Chain A
Amino acid sequence: AQSVSQHNHHVILSEAASLELGCNYSYGGTVNLFWYVQYPGQHLQLLLKYFSGDPLVKGIKGFEAEFIKSKFSFNLRKPSVQWSDTAEYFCAVNPISSGSARQLTFGSGTQLTVLP
């Protein structure tokens, strides 16, 4: 079965610091990749997604992620974080060539705290 690893469980940064959250998955076939964000008291929202094409994808609020197929990675980045980026971030994978083509497999999440 496929799995998704987010190695950073809690990241604490000061405003204006650069952010990189790691995401690795274990599936050898074609995948759709997602980052979702959950702000305090709110529900999961899509941050960005990769289906095909340019492996560097840009999302909302200045976030971007790079798909590196050879490393099975889809790391999330932001050059300069803001206090309002404090949230929990989830990486998710949808292996589109397997029998379970619809379900998303999520990582355990990374809690980002940005200090003002």
Chain B
Amino acid sequence: GAGVSQSPSNKVTEKGKDVELRCDPISGHTALYWYRQSLGQGLEFLIYFQGNSAPDKSGLPSDRFSAERPKGSFSTLEIQRTEQGDSAMYLCASSLGTSGRIQETQYFGPGTRLLVL
């Protein structure tokens, strides 16, 4: 079956512009995660959705970052007034998210590479 998909695969923008990244999880997965991978760094957790709610937003680096998952399916990550430090690979993952299940595997998408000039 289809894996996690993300669009666009690459995004180049100018400092100060807003960008929106999209993630489509694996069909049937209710949990969705956003991570950021900066050059030479590991993955940094941003936000987690269970269905259409976000119980854990602890990783969002500033109020310029927001994410939505209005219908519990695809999700969008928006970065307002982008800065050069926002340049990174933004990765999305999904998992089954069954209530109470704690032994889950996250499956990752190909990522969106964001470059802020």
- Write the residues of chain A forming the contact surface with B, with a CB cutoff of 8 angstroms: 4, 6, 32, 34, 36, 42-46, 49, 51-52, 90, 92, 96, 100-109
Interface residues on chain B, number (Cβ under 8 Å):
26
B42, A4: Cβ atoms closer than 8 Å = yes
Residues of A within 8 A of B104 (CB): 32, 102
Cβ-neighbour of A109 out of B42, B48, B103 (below 8 A): B42
Cβ-neighbour of B42 out of A34, A101, A103, A106 (below 8 A): A106
**Interface with A: B60-68, B69-77, B107-115, which one?**
B107-115
A44, B58: Cβ atoms closer than 8 Å = no
Residues of B within 8 A of A44 (CB): 91, 108
B87, chain A: closest CB distance, angstroms: 18
Main secondary structure, interface of A, reads loop
Residues of B within 8 A of A103 (CB): 33, 45, 48, 56, 58-59
Would you call B106 an interface residue if the criterion is a C-beta within 8 Å of the partner chain's C-beta atoms? yes
B42, A102: Cβ atoms closer than 8 Å = no
A43, B31: Cβ atoms closer than 8 Å = no
12 A-B residue contacts at CB 8 Å? Answer: A32-B102, A42-B110, A43-B108, A46-B105, A49-B105, A90-B43, A103-B48, A104-B33, A104-B43, A104-B106, A105-B45, A106-B42
